[in-house]
Amino acid sequence: MKSNSCVREEILSMYSASSIDRIEVKNCMSDTYSNDLKNDVLKGLTATQKYIPSKYFYDTYGSRLFEEISLLPEYYVTHTELSILQDTASAIIENFPEGDLIELGSGANVKIKTLLDIAYKSYLADIRYVSVDVSEALLVKALKELVTIYPDLRVLGIVADFTKHMKEIPLDRNKVFIFFGSTIGNFTEKESIVFLKNIARFMGPNDRFLLGLDMVKPKEILELAYNDPPGITSKFNKNILSVVNRELDANFHRDHFDHVAFFNGGKNQIEMHLRANRTVSVKIKKLDLTVEIEKDETIRTEISRKFRRESAEKMVDEAGLRINRWFSDPQGWFSLVELKKSTSYLWKEHLRTQIAQRKAKRVKG
């Protein structure tokens, strides 16, 4: 993806000019979203186990539903991670006098405020907040709120897919990468290592990476979090069908599917599916495709992997990172892990640079 494919957006609003001057937004998705969706849905709905990638949950309505999920008492993820952050924000932010806080999949920016509150109390000089999310409406709204809360804070919003557009992130300053909410759990094991390796590539020896990890816990607690009694998660799950209907001119009927979420103990992951409650034939006009779905057949819409300390250590180690500090709640339900680039990875990079420099010298000589 070339950097000139990101378009700078004009921010128009009723906010004061001084706040708006501190917001910059670029959109890297305007050209690619529709094609990516076409390719992904074609691949997913013609696979043996049908699936639709979970990043397509987050249109404006889906993002609002996720915010509602975050407030549910059963969805312990958000309030547990927030409680860890409140206890550890000072320790996390110390020794970060200036630079970029880069949050990936930032959503409604609920959690970053805990860090920014502390940063402001410590009178940290020059912090810029860089927020990366696929959901443009949510990102712009959240950034406007931040500049009104924090005087002098500069923010950069990047509407982008963090699995594809990492090159769009500015890398010239000290950095803390942030990936809250255990969104890493929505990747397969392989994808999560590719993703972490990609971030490690962009980290310098002093940069840090704050990673939220949801831990394995009793099945009943996990399953209740994804089967909340008010049915918000069910609405969130079915909204992915509305996204496909709208964007690809399809005729999924949400009432023909039931929300299913269960803990797959063999894989330590919650799986969310949409199960057809009758035989269904769906036309997807923009793909020129008709998909036949049998009664009780499912479309997998999300995996949400849960971690143990050992599996987390193995994952970060394979990605060339190391655990610097490990923060957790008293029950050990969620972990906030501070990562740095591993020494062996830094050495390898150092050696590679030296070899390249020697080669260049030889060619010149």
Q: Considering only residues 70, 88, 269, 335, which one is a binding residue for ligand SAH as defined by CB under 6 A?
A: 70
Residue of 51, 185, 196, 207 interacting with ligand AVI (CB under 6 A): 185
Kindly tell me which residue out of 233, 269, 328, 335 binds ligand AVI, with binding defined by CB under 6 A. 233
Answer whether 19's CB lies under 8 Å from 140's CB. Answer: no
Please, what is the minimum distance in Å from the beta carbon of residue 257 to ligand AVI?
16
Token pair listed for 168: 């769009």
Contact between 302 and ligand AVI by CB under 6 A: the answer reads: yes
Does 304 contact ligand AVI by CB under 6 A? yes
Q: Does 183 bind ligand SAH (CB under 6 A)?
A: yes
Helix or strand holding residue 9 (H, E): strand 7-9
200 interface partner picked from ligand SAH, ligand AVI, none, CB below 5 to 8 A per type? none
> Closer CB to ligand SAH, residue 44 or residue 181?
181
Report the SS3 class of residue 92. helix
Q: Which stretch binds ligand AVI (CB under 6 A): 155-163, 167-175, 176-184, 337-345?
A: 176-184
CA dist 110 and 67 (Å) reads 9
Helix spans in the chain (H): 17-20, 33-45, 60-71, 76-93, 112-121, 136-149, 189-201, 219-225, 232-248, 309-318, 343-364
Q: Which of 99, 181, 185, 320 binds ligand SAH (CB under 6 A)?
A: 181
Q: Measured between alpha carbons, how far is residue 130 from residues 102, 151, 251, 253, 315 in Å? A: 5, 16, 38, 38, 25
Burial 142-166 (b: 16+ CB within 10 A, else e): bbbebbeebeebbbbbbbbbbeebb
Site residues for ligand AVI, window 55-84 (CB under 6 A)?
69, 77
Question: In the chain, what is the straight-line distance between the N-terminal and C-terminal CA atoms, in Å?
Answer: 36
Residues that bind ligand AVI (rule: CB under 6 A) add up to a total of 11
Residue number, 99 or 181, with CB nearest to ligand AVI: 181
Q: Pick from ligand AVI, ligand SAH, none: which does 115 bind, CB < 5 to 8 A by kind? A: none
**Token representation of residue 270:** 């919650």
Q: Is the separation of the CB atoms in 317 and 342 below 8 Å? A: yes
Of 106, 183, 269, 328, the one binding ligand AVI (CB under 6 A) is 183
Please give the Cα distance from 222 to 150 (Å, whole number).
36
Which residue, 185 or 320, has its beta carbon nearer to ligand AVI? 185
Binding site residues, ligand SAH, CB under 6 A: 55, 58, 63, 66, 70, 78, 105-107, 110-111, 132-135, 161-163, 180-181, 183
